[in-house]
Amino acid sequence: MRWRGRTAATLPPDPGVADLAGDARLRRLELTVTRRLDGLLHGEHQGLLPGPGSEPAGSREYRPGEDEVRRMDWAVTARTAVPHVREVDADRELTTWLLVDASPSMEYGTAELDKRELAVAAVAAIGFLTAGMGNRLGAQVLTPTGLRRFPPGTGRTHLFGLLRTLLNAPRTGGYDEDTAPLAPPDLVEALDAVHRVATRRGLVVVVSDFLDGLPDDPAHAAPWERTLRRLAVRHQVLAVEVTDPREWDLPDVGLVTLMDPESGRRRDVWTGDPALRERYAAAAAAQRDQVREALRRSGAAHLPLRTDRDWAADIVRHVHRQRRLAAAPAATARGGTA
C-alpha cells in the first residue's frame, strides 16, 4: 500500500550513484562464499578441482616420484608415521547473479530512501563486496513490462553502469486509472530465468520485498519458495528483504486512503482506532515471519533491510555474522583432527 497525498515537497532528493555506493565501511569487506565454484580463471575463491592454489583441501599419502617434497604435511606425517603431502584447491573466479525487484510495490517509501532506492543501494553493496580478480556481476531486473537482463561483466565501470540504469529507470506510478490495472511481475518466472542463465556455480542475490503471491494461509508455501530452493541447491543464495516502517505499523494520522500500487485497490482507513493499529502490526509481523520461514526453508541466507535504518551497518553485521558461521565448521574440523 502507499499513502495518497504525499507531495513532491515532502520527498527527499533522489540519491545519486555516489550516495549509494560510496560507503567506506563496505570497501574493507568481502562476502564469504562457501560453495564450490567451477570457473575458468584464477580468481579468489575455491574451485571444484584440486590444483595449484592456497586453499587447504586435506592431506593424502606421499607418492614417490609424483609429489614434491616441499608439499610434505609434516604434522600429519608425524602423527601417522606415514609420509603425507598437503592438497590444495585451485582458486577460481566468482560469478554473481542479481535479481532486482523493480515492481510497483518497490516504489513505496516513507523514509530517507524508498524501497527501490534501497534495492539499488543493496546492489551497490553486493557489487563492492564481490569485486575481485576475475569476478563477474550480472543482473536480471524485474519490471512491470518484463524482465531486463544485464550480461555478466567485470570492473567498476560495469557496476556503476548498472547502478545508473537502475536509478534512472522510469517509474510506473503503480496504477494507471485511465487504463486496465498493470499486471504485476511474476517473481517465480524471474527466478526461473535466473536458474536458466546461472549455469556456473556461484552466488545468486535476490533483492525484493518477497510479497509477490504470498498466500494468506501461513501453512501454504509461497509460490517462489520452490524455485528459490532449486537455486540454493547449486548456488549460494542471499535473499535481501527490503521493507518500509509503514509496512510494519500504522501511525495515528486520522482518516487516510490506502492504495495498492499494483492492483489499484483502495481502502479508507481510520488510523485513530488503536485496535485497528494493533491488528495491523500483528498481521504485518506475521507476514514477515512467513517470509522469513519461507526463505529459511529455501536454504537462502536472509538479509533484512529497512528504509529507516542504516543499511550499510546492517550489511556489515550480516557479512561478519556469515563469516563467523563459515569459520565455525572449519574450527570444529581442526579440533577433531588435532
Domain ranges of the chain: 2-37+94-332, 49-92
> According to CATH, what is the number of the domain 2-37+94-332?
3.40.50.410
Q: Each residue of 169-212: pLDDT tens digit?
A: 777 654 444 444 455 568 899 999 999 988 888 899 999 989 87
Place of cell 499494483: 262
**85 grid coordinates:** 603431502
pLDDT value at 70 more than 70: yes
* Number of alpha carbons in the 13 Å side-chain half-sphere of residue 288: 19
Q: Each residue of 84-106: pLDDT tens digit?
A: 988 764 456 788 999 998 888 88
pLDDT value at 257 more than 50: yes
Q: pLDDT tier at 3 (50, 70, 90 boundaries)?
A: very low
* Number of alpha carbons in the 13 Å side-chain half-sphere of residue 57: 17
Q: What is the pLDDT of residue 179?
A: 45
Q: What is the pLDDT of residue 51?
A: 43
Nearest to 164 by CA among 50, 41, 18, 309: 18
Q: What is the pLDDT of residue 43?
A: 52
Distant-in-sequence, close-in-space partners of 125: CB < 8 Å, separation ≥ 6: 21, 23, 26, 311, 312, 315
Q: What is the dihedral of CA 214, 217, 223, 224, to 10 degrees?
A: 60
Q: What is the pLDDT of residue 303?
A: 93
**Other beta carbons within 10 Å of 214:** 17
Nearest to 123 by CA among 39, 208, 209: 208
What single DSSP character describes residue 218?
A: T
